Amino acid sequence: MAMGAADVVPGVSGGTIAFISGILDPLLDGIRKINLSLFSIIKQQGIKAAFMHINGPFLLCVFGGILTSIFTLAKLISWLLATHPIPVWSFFFGLIIYSVVHMVKQVEKFTALRIVMFLIGVAFAWAITVLHPIEMQVSYLNFFFCGAIAICAMILPGISGSFILLLLGMYPAVLAAAKGFDIVYLACFAIGAVVGLLSFSHVLSALLRKFNDATLLFLTGLMLGTLGKIWPWKQVISWRENSKGELVPLLEQNLSPFQFEQITGESSQMGIAIVCVLVGIGLVWGLERVGNQAKN
């Protein structure tokens, strides 16, 4: 459910939650086993054996929690981002900061090449955050492709699937489909997500097995590079009109809390922001301890 809540928010990755809670490896392993060999297992040993081969109970719990969270929290997250943006972004800022610390702890050895991979990750994520959103047409085919692309980011620590949807101009449409429970659009998105998930899980799993430290540092760089997107105090520089004719932010610049008060005339809510940052840090610290206990 924590993964689903994170995936709803642009800039925060459900893959980050999976990593710090210690379930990313079994998650990727279970997904990777969903291939054509399953038909042979079903034929020889039955459906139950195939279900256990892919760690079916575990996958059902994870994806059941994600879907439950998305459908129950989509409206709440949308409302909080619209009415209380500074506390919400402060919470996720604290969450990402300690997630970076957690991932660096997992690296066994630092080399020049691995540090370069970290810097490439930072630069790549930062470049994505400054890209201008495009406006894709709402169609079944675009929902399919967006599902395939976004799901890869959703299981990748550091890159937010919902932020990718935001860049593609499809985030409002997908969120509206989830809130309105539009079966057809959601089915297209889900089919695309399944295709993308089954393909990308093999790549990420292989990278973590063969180049663990370099991959971890690259992913850590991705997380650090997205902090600019999550910074709580922003000023909208320009607006764009979405497919519904509504004005939404196009370009934003980060401000210090004091600049925010001077320019916007609104309270920076500094005290609440600090508390929310600490709550975010505390949550990740708690997940880290749960993950360590599970490993032991």
pLDDT tens by residue, 11-62: 667 787 887 777 888 888 888 888 888 888 888 888 888 889 888 899 999 9
**78-82, 193-197, 230-234: the lowest-pLDDT one:** 78-82
Cα–Cα distance for residue pair 231/219, rounded to 1 Å? 19
Please determine, for residue 131, whether its predicted confidence score (pLDDT) is greater than 80. Answer: no
Domain boundaries, the chain: 2-233+269-295
Burial class (CB in 10 A: 0-12, 13-18, 19+), 9: buried
CA-CA-CA-CA torsion sign (53, 20, 272, 161): negative
pTM of the model: 0.74
